[in-house]
Amino acid sequence: MKEVYEGVPEGAAVAIAVDRTIVGQESILDQVWRCITEQKKNNGIIGLYGMGGIGKTTLLKQVNNKFCSEEHDFDVVIWSVVSREPNLKQIQEDIGKRIGFSTDSWQRKSFGERASDITNTLRHKKFVLLLDDIWESEIDLTKLGVPLQTLDSGSRIVFTTRFEGTCGKMGAHKNRYKVFCLGDDDAWKLFEGVVGSYVLNKHPDIPKLADDVA
Ligand SMILES: Nc1ncnc2c1ncn2[C@@H]1O[C@H](COP(=O)(O)OP(=O)(O)O)[C@@H](O)[C@H]1O
Ligand SMILES: [Mg+2]
């Protein structure tokens, strides 16, 4: 049994539910995964940007879930949703929960105390912090307690945003990926997946009609 788990720290990541049919993100998922896991020079901050509804959250969830199914040497993968009105205390709570600070007394600590607890713990870990949906103003990770100096030893921050400018503000200068809309074939596959081939083939005209509409 032991060998099976070696290299895959149990519980490093917590799986997140994704839609049943995800199509067309294999290639970008693969690129992002390599950027996270390869040792090559990388400042550790990776931005995924693209318009609303294009699939950024879906992609980031798949990145998260890959940590449950692939081999890697990260100690902990943390997920937090930022959104338009960021709640820094909530982000601290999401981080805290994943690294063992979930008691009521920890919740009652001041922002600064929580930040230093987070720093002292994450400093010794190889972590991945996944931040979904950062808007136009950047998030001050140092203030939250995230020790950015650990990025040099392989920890990673991956975030999504609608704004390419936010990538720069957050420090993703080189490592940024644009999430595009699906190509025709993939869009069709998705449509078929949602509607079901049973419905599509019920009447000989339906596939042609659907194709014209698309
Ligand atoms: N590649 C895809 N395959 C299947 N469904 C997708 C895909 N990309 C996005 N979706 C669906 O489209 C909707 C919007 O995607 P989401 O990831 O929330 O976009 P964003 O975060 O860029 O606003 C969701 O319901 C999601 O399940
Ligand atoms: Mg989103």
Residue 54 CB–ligand 1 contact under 6 Å: yes
Å from CA of 57 to ligand 1 middle: 7
Å from CA of 181 to ligand 2 middle: 14
DSSP-assigned states of every residue in 48-66: EE--TTSSHHHHHHHHHHH
- Reported as a pLDDT band with limits 50, 70 and 90, residue 143 is very high
- Closest atom of ligand 1 to 18 CA is 27
Domains (ranges, CATH) in the chain? Answer: 2-181 (3.40.50.300), 182-214 (no CATH)
* Residue, of 110 and 188, whose pLDDT is higher: 110
- Mean pLDDT, the chain, rounded, equals 89
* Residue, of 204 and 147, whose pLDDT is higher: 147
Residue 52 CB–ligand 1 contact under 6 Å: yes
Q: How high is the pLDDT of residue 7?
A: 39
Residue nearest to atom 8 of ligand 1 (CA): 55
- Reported as a pLDDT band with limits 50, 70 and 90, residue 5 is very low
Give the number of the ligand closest to the Cα of residue 54.
1
Residue 102 CB–ligand 1 contact under 6 Å: no
Q: How high is the pLDDT of residue 208?
A: 76
- Closest atom of ligand 1 to 21 CA is 4
Ligand 1: which of 22, 58, 59, 181 to mutate, most ligand atoms within 8 Å of CB?
58
Ligand 1: which of 16, 18, 19, 29 to mutate, most ligand atoms within 8 Å of CB?
19
Q: How high is the pLDDT of residue 19?
A: 85
Residue nearest to atom 23 of ligand 1 (CA): 53
DSSP-assigned states of every residue in the chain: -HHHHTTS-TTSS------S---S-HHHHHHHHHHHH--SS--SEEEEE--TTSSHHHHHHHHHHHHHHS----SEEEEEE--SS--HHHHHHHHHHHTT--SHHHHHS-HHHHHHHHHHHHTTS-EEEEEEEE-SSPP-HHHHT--GGGGGGT-EEEEEES-HHHHHHTT-SS-EEEPPPPPHHHHHHHHHHHH-HHHHTTSTTHHHHHHHH-
Å from CA of 174 to ligand 1 middle: 25
- Closest atom of ligand 1 to 25 CA is 1
- Reported as a pLDDT band with limits 50, 70 and 90, residue 209 is confident
What is the distance between the alpha carbons of residues 113 and 169, in angstroms, rounded to a whole number? 26
Percentage of the chain lying above the pLDDT 70 cut: 91
